[in-house]
Chains A and B, each alone.
Chain A
């Protein structure tokens, strides 16, 4: 190790300012740290596959004559309407990829801070609890929005470009709003869901497993209960089914399960409220000095 005081201490002549968004350095650093993980880069790149597939679908839909032999009658799937967008947002693979990306990128957001005692460093700065949590949540916002709102709006844009007219937009002027609303819902839900689990353990691996297990097992539980009771209401036990219900409602499409969508919204909101309560309890600045 180098000897102490290789250089003398000098005072800093700048002025400390009050940040408009004190949480921003936390968000930026959280995103940067996620991309330093090699495996994550592959997962992240792979998570755009559904968007690319749907983009190809858009392109083909505008040139059905060219691809007639290739499609062999399955062109009905390429009927571009709000249901096409709903299908992109609520398909199993996209939702699973979001969980996968967050499992890698966000599971350690709070767990690592708890493990390495860094909360005390954060809260000894002019930072409030809400700044800290908003900074961490914004990391999740970034990853979820980049997989939902960004491709969703781009798909819409490409539809207009491929069609060469604004007719589609004029037919469904509310579609951009639906895309933004559902992206926001997914973002807020996953932010609370992942941060809540991240605050439960100091071990990032456990948190990653929890993020997957709860998502997958809630769906398995739904499958088992449906097999036993044959009632559509058991869909409410599944996180995925609730998200799909909410998606169908927001895009104005037929609900996949015969349960009022409001119940799904209530369950998702309940998970968020529970998560917020746990986070509020677990993240306490007063414990900075032990």
Chain B
């Protein structure tokens, strides 16, 4: 296991940021999800060694998060969400500079900076001043500086924010290549669920400082519930309440599509029985593949 935490707890004053989080993350790309204030940033801070947990323990690549913070930061590549660069530098100097700060010899860092910049598609622009870079180029640059020291794990914070569709596709393809072909584990924190869905085999969902769900995406989709999408004619209120009394979660979209998250043990015929009992006509009924969005909504309880 590359990341392993046990009973991790942390609070800012009276506010509980993490409460007994236990998880194990293996190889490949892992998505880190959660609404604002769920504890994602606190978890990343603890994993990078900036915060010492109040309780619990953890290891990143076998390094203790309490004792071996410098080793962890040497082995991890971090791509922040916000634009960040050093004014007055070109991309080669910038990338090699952070390679050196990671512990690479100067000449090796310079050589490696060229390679990495070519890899992320900034080869032609590597001698341009960073102040003149576009948003997409800065995003690639952040990825380059995270990769320059050849980390074992990459922490990517909203890697596709501020990108146009083409740029987003290219960055996602790059991350996919890194996580699948280069044996670098990726921990991807993003609000764009589609990104996580397209990249990550497994996901960690935090909610209110607690671990809401963790595991392979397919397993998570299968274990918790079945999702049915339906349209009805008639008064939906009693129908909805009837389904909720059966343990289902019911959401309605703007175009009046009703999504029913039904516990795995329940029988789908119960939906029809409820419709019959409450006098509504079923106009459309389909068993849907649960998307990450559905999973997120189901687990976290937000639409």
Contact = CB atoms under 8 A, between A and B. Distances in A.
Interface of A: 1-12, 14, 16-19, 22, 25-26, 29, 33, 36-37, 108, 112-113, 115-118, 120-128, 285-286, 288-290
Interface of B: 41, 44-45, 48, 50-51, 69-71, 73-74, 76, 78, 80-89, 93, 97-98, 100-106, 108, 112, 115-116, 118-125, 134, 136-137, 140, 145, 147, 149-150, 157, 170-171, 173-174, 177-178, 181-182
Given A17-B103, A25-B97, A122-B101, A5 B121 contact: yes
A122 B102 CA distance: 9
Given A12-B112, A126-B70, A6 B118 contact: yes
A13 to B, nearest CB: 9
Contacts, number: 149
A126 B118 contact: no
Nearest to B171: A4
A123 B50 contact: yes
Contacts of A26: 101
A105 to B, nearest CB: 12
B115 A7 contact: yes
Nearest to A290: B82
Contacts of B145: 121
B87 A126 contact: no
A9 B178 contact: yes
B51 to A, nearest CB: 6
A29 B101 CA distance: 11
What are the 8 tightest A-B residue pairs by CB atom distance, in nearest-first order?
A16-B103, A117-B84, A124-B78, A12-B150, A126-B70, A4-B121, A7-B118, A4-B170
A113 B86 contact: yes
A127 B101 contact: yes
B173 A4 contact: yes
Nearest to B178: A9
B119 A25 contact: no
Contacts of B93: 29
A36 B140 CA distance: 25
B202 to A, nearest CB: 21
Interface of A is mostly: loop
B245 to A, nearest CB: 43
18 contacts: A1-B121, A1-B137, A2-B123, A5-B120, A6-B121, A6-B123, A8-B119, A16-B149, A25-B97, A116-B83, A116-B86, A118-B86, A121-B98, A126-B71, A286-B50, A286-B51, A288-B78, A289-B41
Contacts of A125: 73-74, 98, 101-102
Contact of A33 (B88, B103, B123): B88
B87 A116 contact: yes
Contacts of B157: 289
A116 B149 contact: no
A40 B12 CA distance: 45
Which of A3, A14, A290 has the most chain B CB atoms inside 10 A of its CB? A14
Given A4-B174, A14-B104, A288-B50, 19 more contacts: A1-B124, A2-B122, A3-B170, A4-B171, A5-B121, A7-B115, A7-B118, A10-B115, A11-B182, A12-B112, A12-B150, A19-B103, A108-B87, A116-B83, A125-B74, A126-B73, A127-B101, A289-B48, A289-B157
Contacts of A117: 80, 82-84
Contact of A36 (B83, B88, B171, B181): B88
